[in-house]
Amino acid sequence: MFLVTGATGNVGGELVRALAGAGEPVRALSRAGRPDGLPPGAEAAAGDLNEPGTVRDALDGVTGMFLMPGYAGQRQILADARAAGVRRVVLLSGRSAGTGDTGNAVAAYMIDAEEAVRESGLAWTCVRPTSFMSNALQLADQLRAGDTVRAPFPDVATADIDPYDIARTVMAALRSAEFEGRVLDVSGPEALLPADRVRILGKVLGRELRAVGLTDAEARAELEARMPVPYVDAFFSFFVDGTLDESEVLPTVEEVTGRAPRTFEEWARAHADRF
């Protein structure tokens, strides 16, 4: 049995579908624990990663666990997992963990999560992806309002990755001892500027879209409207100060899964109905 935490999220949802599609027994953990939308063969379970006691029952019979980072109950959940007989944990981390910058709010919680799994006594793998292609869904409201898209950090190219490819990498690590004790840095197949992604979205949607780059002041105001200031500061450190380079195209997805990662256009075509 594989336990997938964050089972309704971008990566968790893809992982549940991938495991079930491969005929693996999978338990999908979410706060609500509803079975709605789960593929045949997947079992729903309720639990909150900030409240370890709510997760214990879901660990029964589990041999491998996919763990989300940044939750208060992480260390206790890992201890409970070991006591329950779980043998392997695969952590969703991020490229920022490689900076070692514990003064950066985003990097800090990734670094702490990685330390927790390394100290857990379980066989572990950390998967560090670049930014998600699914972040483009944040543009949906703008696209419904018109053909002009305002984008922060217009001069920063990133090799964004489809959560589908993160999930396939995680599945390989859950099913094999080959990747134990390893950090797997993963990226998409091409580095794109925000304007490139807007152009590709326009091609997929059959629209003439125009990208407008935000100034740093405009970007800060928009980001602070939807996330805590320390996280905004973290992204400015990454993409304005240049402390994180997500433009490098990495071979890891193909090496681990045997298939090249999906392009942004492939992601956009698969999710066009959400725009």
How many Cα atoms within 13 Å fall on the side-chain side of residue 113?
A: 30
How many Cα atoms within 13 Å fall on the side-chain side of residue 197?
A: 35
Distance in angstroms (rounded) separating the CA atoms of residues 76 and 72: 9
Contacts of 237-244 spanning 24+ positions with Cβ under 8 A: 237/101, 237/104, 238/96, 238/104, 238/106, 239/152, 239/153, 239/156, 240/153, 240/216, 243/99, 243/101, 243/104, 244/95, 244/96, 244/99
> One digit per residue, pLDDT tens: the chain, 275 residues?
999 999 999 999 999 999 999 999 999 999 999 998 899 999 999 999 999 999 999 999 999 999 999 999 999 999 999 999 999 999 999 999 999 999 999 999 999 999 999 999 999 999 999 999 999 999 999 999 999 999 999 999 999 999 999 999 999 999 999 999 999 999 999 999 999 999 999 999 999 999 999 999 999 999 999 999 999 999 999 999 999 999 999 999 999 999 999 999 999 999 999 99
Q: What is the pLDDT of residue 101?
A: 96
Which candidate, 26, 11, 62, places its Cα nearest to that of 169? 11
Say what the pTM is.
0.96
Using an 8 Å Cβ cutoff, are 70 and 45 in contact?
no
Using an 8 Å Cβ cutoff, are 211 and 194 in contact?
yes
Distance in angstroms (rounded) separating the CA atoms of residues 257 and 102: 32
